[in-house]
Structure 1
Amino acid sequence: MIPGGQPNMQALLQQAQKMQQDLAAAQQELAETEVEGTAGGGLVKATVSGAGELRALVIDPKAVDPDDTETLADLVVAAVHSATDAAQELQQSKLGPLAQGLGGGLPGLF
């Protein structure tokens, strides 16, 4: 602080730049990290990036019944939902502390 109660603008700018760099690094790490969700006891597996991008979908042949495609579709949706939930938890753990440092939250991230 400068005498008179004014904040040191240089220090504030440096702190903001560091927070921006930390946020960019965390976002890059999320984009490179993968999480998995499963459904049907592992019959369907979805892999999602930490940023929420669907990367892979594996369907066990046992889950494929030509006469019951609705169940397969439900399993796919459930696996993707499970993986997306895991990605959101990862986002909270990586970005949450950074968002708090930026004044309590970043609209649109969570």
Structure 2
Amino acid sequence: MARLLEQAQQMQQQLAAAQEQLAQEEVTGTAGGGLVSVTMTGQGEVTAVTIAPAAVDPDDVESLQDLVVAAFRDASRAVNELTASRMGPLAGGLGGGLGLPGL
């Protein structure tokens, strides 16, 4: 039982370290060939939105709106991939490494 608790504490420390690392990493999603970009932390917090002047057409605001949404989705996808690559190996260890049902 003590070994099991020790393994759980180690896993908890590794998960906390991975979450801290994610908070410090950034990913950028783009749309429109780079006309719009959205930068997010690994935890999904938006830190920057960049819009190239060429993307701004007062007569076509809807296209710009679509580009912003697409860039946000691209950044979110990148965050999900980053999270899976950092947390996946750790989460996989919960079931096999600890042998706890349901984890």
The equivalences for 1:1-110 within 5 A come to 9-103=1-95
Per-residue deviation, 1:52: 1.3
Structure-2 separation of matches of 1:53 and 1:86: 12
The SS at the match of 2:59 is: coil
- For residue 78 of structure 1, what is the amino acid of its counterpart? A
Name the one with the larger helix percent.
Answer: 2
| Runs of 5+ unmatched residues, structure 1 | 1-8, 105-110
Q: Within 1, Cα distance between the matches of 2:74 and 2:61?
A: 20
2:72 is paired with a residue of what secondary structure? helix
Q: CA deviation at 1:94?
A: 0.4
**Counterpart amino acid of 2:63?**
T
CA offset at residue 91 of structure 1? 0.3
- Residue identity matched to 1:24: A
For 2:7, give the aligned amino acid: Q
Question: Helix, strand or coil for the counterpart of 1:45?
Answer: strand
* TM-score normalised by structure 1 residue count: 0.84
Give percent identity, aligned residues only: 62
SS in 2 for 1:13: helix
The structure with the largest alpha-carbon Rg is 1
Question: Considering only aligned residues, what root-mean-square deviation do their CA atoms show, in Å?
Answer: 1.0
**Runs of 4 or more consecutive aligned structure 1 residues displaced over 6 Å after TM superposition:** none
- Segments of structure 2 that go 5 or more residues without pairing to the other structure are 97-103
Higher RCO by CA contacts (8 Å cutoff, separation 6 or greater) = 2
Aligned-residue offset at 1:62: 0.7
TM-score using structure 2 length = 0.90
> What CA deviation, in whole Å up to 9, does each residue of 1:82-103 have, x standing for no partner?
0110000000000011111112
